[in-house]
Chain A
Amino acid sequence: MAEVAHHYDEKMPLEYRTEESRLNILGFWIFLGAEVALFATLFATYLVLFQRTGHGPTAMELFKVKEVMIETLLLLTSSFTCGLAIHEMRRNRLKGLLTWLIITLLLGAGFITFEIREFIDYVHEGATIQTSAFLSSFFVLVGTHGAHVSLGIGWMILIIIQLLQRGFTPRTARKVFIVSLYWHFLDVVWIFIFTLVYLTGMVI
């Protein structure tokens, strides 16, 4: 409970200054631990099922290098710009923070657009979520990540509005920091998807 919600500790970064914020940030790290377990299960499912293609196409026949490379570039860049946003926050520059957050958000939206296009392409080729165990696990794994990114975009919009309304406060700063943790986490998950799903799928 936020017993000392209003006791500031001036030496800490803004997002760590209240007890409530410190609790929330720790809680979010633990939540990310649970997310790791969630994605690990989805990866395990995918790895178990990925060669069980039934009558449908195999990974090698399906995946397209170009789209996936573009998606990867967009998301990795967005993680970098998200880092720049936090950097600006630490220097107390609201405008810089907002600018980089919006860029991050746009890059994320670009990623999602390409991902949806990729999925639509597959469906047009007859590779749907119902075709085979491989495709079910592929769409659910990659789709869960995509859903997380979409959620992150919505969440970031809410935080941007709050920043515009309220400026820097320990609370808004903490929210920005937590959403940035989330965003970097999704980037890490994507790196695993990229290597374990796409790269592996294109060679085996």
Chain B
Amino acid sequence: MKWSEFFVTGEPLIYAADVSIVLTAIGIVFVLTYFKKWKWLWNEWLTTVDHKKIGVMYIISAVLMLFRGGVDALLMRAQLTVPNMKFLDSQHYNEIFTTHGTIMIIFMAMPFIIGLMNIVVPLQIGARDVAYPYLNALSFWLFFVGAMLFNIAFVIGGSPDAGWTSYFPLASKEFSPGVGNNYYAVALQISGIGTLMTGINFLVTILKMRAPGMTLMRMPMFTWTILITCVIIIFAFPVFTVALALMTFDRLFDTQFFTMANGGMSMLWANLFWIWGHPEVYIVVLPAFGIFSEVVSTFARKRLFGYKAMVFSIVGIAFLSFLVWVHHFFTMGAGAAVNSFFSITTMAIAIPTGVKIFNWLFTLRKGKIRFTTAMLWSLAFIPNFVIGGVTGVMLAMAAADYQYHNSYFLIAHFHYVLIAGTVFACFAGLHYWYPKMFGHILNERLGKWTFWLFMIGFNICFFPMYFLGLMGMTRRMYTYSAGLGWTPLNVVATVGAALMGIGFIVLCYNIYYSARYGERDMTGDPWDGRTLEWATSSPVAHYNFAIIPEVTDLDAYWVMKKTGKGLEIDEEKLKPIHMPSNSGRPFLISIAFFFAGFGLVFEWYTMAIIATIFIILGLILRSFDDDDGYYISVDEIKRTERLARKGA
């Protein structure tokens, strides 16, 4: 391979990106060196096994990826604003919609959710950490290097360009000869391994580490949704692992899985992809439902309405989510019987979803509602998500889908469910749990600015797309001619996208502003919360709970506050707390994964093999490692607790 092919050349935008990447890197190194922060970075973050810090790192990465995916989105909107635009050529446009979709789902939505669940779930169940803290760190770092590998594609070697669904035969070596699609196959594989391990980790954590008295039916709703999400991850991600592996073999070793000749079957890819892909959309939306449930019940000051019905509906949704994948290709000619079956299963998902919508509405009914930022996101979610759901049911009618399929109608549908569902939930959760992460509150006034800008912008951007779709505009087209009458709605959509961008900037400013001037949370319970995470101090002590609380009912902390039992810490009862030791190995193993992946992408097998040897070495060292962790002494716990109480 020539150097001129190694680095992407020829585009002014790319050169600008090169420069900014180099400058940012130099800047980071400079700041760390100047403030002598390298050691801090290593000890406090790179080697940590603390679920709260890992959660924070997930969220920081997710916000960065939201920025990257958002820039992609704005570039696409700029190109589509007016007909015959010459801003991006077709190849560049293909690359951008591919990276946008992949990054938003895999490297933004999922990590954001996983970050929140890392921080919150152990606190909600009254645990001191997750089941496997070391594995948790490894999960994070694998996700992180997967994301980095995917993100360098556009400057080194070239971006993938066959869509986030990467259908064959387009994604084959024959039609996509560059390294771009190798990046897709390898980077998603690496981060997918991390996700699978997270699924196992949190399933065991929730099943085995709940505080005494917390039966399954006393678990907070967010924890319930995470439990079910983990089950979906465990059964869906292996399918993706296999699909990506077969894609890698087809591209690197000329196997014949999805080829056009020698018996290959390209539709097999579409099936495998969506057998994972549809459950995947529920992996990102079920936790969102959980977040809204917590926020709605806290700020309506009421117990969640229909708790049991909520639980049964998430279980129902999870089950059905594995039985609907064909609705993504009704038009591929599977026949009337098959299409009817999947049409009905798809529509059936609307039933449990509808049950949940009514439960939120009834929770709000007669509640003493406080319109905090987190609550605004949750209230806006309900009508916006319903628009997405209703249009989903329209798409589910197989016969009608021949008209809607792959048009902007579909684009509008899934943005209405993903943004109004997952993204709104991430913002709601961020505002809601921010004091637990950093000890101060995100400024409410700025938060509301973000909310209104983003929410209105979102509707201005995506609502017109339903009509563009009905007018015949298909997805993934990089330009259109003037006579089609699509111009006005496209202009409107771009304006909306710009508003969303401004909303995001206000959010970033808010993070900075609140860090400097934000109100400190001295109580640990700024929202008058109901679940156990609010029983801890803000920010949370390393060991979470000095004494593990006893749970007697749903909304455990609320009950404690009402009865006054269990709030005080009896210093007599303190015992030394066992904690796991930090380890740099997850980070180092993941670096080796990065190089192994990079070697595979460029088919530099020597590099891949050497890096793999390092991975195996890391695993062997882990096997022989018998570090039993350490104990936090009673004295230290007393000191920490007194300090935290003094603030109150």
Contact = CB atoms under 8 A, between A and B. Distances in A.
Interface string A42-72: 1001001100111110000000000000000
Interface stretch (B29-37, B324-332, B585-593, B618-626): B618-626
Given A26-B208, A34-B238, A45-B257, A1 B263 contact: no
A41 B203 contact: no
Interface stretch (A2-10, A99-107, A192-200): A2-10
A132 B257 CA distance: 8
B208 A22 contact: yes
Given A49-B268, A55-B262, A129-B255, A140 B249 contact: yes
B572 interface: no
Interface stretch (B59-67, B125-133, B385-393): B125-133
Contacts of A55: 262
B208 A42 contact: no
Nearest to B267: A48
A175 B127 CA distance: 25
B239 A132 contact: no
Contacts of A164: none
B645 interface: no
Nearest to A3: B578
Contacts of B131: 1, 23, 27
A49 B250 CA distance: 14
Interface in B109-162: 127-133
A116 interface: no
Nearest to A42: B242
Interface in B606-639: 620, 623-624, 626, 628-629
B263 A132 contact: yes
B196 interface: yes
A58 to B, nearest CB: 11
Given A4-B578, A26-B207, A38 B242 contact: yes
A133 B242 contact: no
B272 A1 contact: no
Contacts of A80: none
B200 A2 contact: no
Interface in A84-136: 129-136
B200 A133 contact: no
A1 B127 contact: yes
A171 interface: yes
B254 A130 contact: yes
Contact of A49 (B127, B199, B237, B257): B257
B246 interface: yes
B204 interface: yes
A158 interface: yes
A54 B262 contact: yes
Contacts of A137: 257
Contacts of B129: 1
B127 A45 contact: no
A34 B259 contact: no
B256 to A, nearest CB: 5
A158 B578 contact: no
A30 interface: yes
Contacts of B246: 45, 140
Nearest to A169: B626
Interface string A152-175: 000100110010000000010001
* Max chain A Cβ within 10 angstroms of own Cβ: one of B236, B237, B256, B624: B256
A41 B268 contact: no
Given A22-B208, A140-B249, A132 B256 contact: yes
Interface residues of B, number: 52
A37 B263 contact: no
A41 B628 CA distance: 38
B239 A30 contact: no
Contact of B238 (A22, A37, A162, A175): A37
Contacts of B128: 1, 3
A38 B262 contact: no
Interface residues of A, number: 44
A158 B624 contact: yes
A4 B209 CA distance: 12
Nearest to B257: A136
Contacts of A133: 256-257, 259, 262-265
A31 B238 CA distance: 10
B265 A48 contact: yes
Given A137-B257, A158-B624, A1 B579 contact: yes
A131 B253 CA distance: 11
B191 to A, nearest CB: 16
B527 interface: no
B629 A52 contact: no
Given A30-B204, A132-B256, A133-B264, A45 B242 contact: yes
Given A34-B200, A52-B264, A130 B626 contact: no
Given A2-B580, A131-B262, A41 B629 contact: no
Nearest to B241: A38
B234 interface: yes
Contacts of B256: 54, 130-133, 135-136
A37 B257 contact: no
A18 to B, nearest CB: 10
Contacts of A2: 578, 580, 628-629
Contacts of B132: 23-24, 27
Given A2-B578, A23-B204, A33 B235 contact: yes
Nearest to B49: A1
Contacts of B200: 27, 30-31, 34
B237 to A, nearest CB: 7
Contacts of B624: 158, 162
B576 to A, nearest CB: 11
A183 to B, nearest CB: 16
Contacts of B201: 27
A48 B620 CA distance: 38
Contacts of B623: 155, 158-159, 162, 175
B27 to A, nearest CB: 37
B253 A129 contact: yes
Interface of B: 127-133, 196, 199-201, 203-204, 207-209, 234-239, 241-243, 245-246, 249, 253-257, 259, 261-265, 268, 272, 275, 577-580, 620, 623-624, 626, 628-629
9 contacts: A2-B578, A22-B208, A27-B200, A53-B263, A133-B262, A133-B263, A133-B264, A136-B257, A140-B249
Interface of A: 1-6, 22-24, 26-27, 30-31, 33-35, 37-38, 41-42, 45, 48-49, 52-56, 129-137, 140, 155, 158-159, 162, 171, 175
Given A41-B239, A136-B249, A137-B257, 6 more contacts: A1-B133, A27-B131, A33-B235, A45-B257, A55-B262, A56-B262
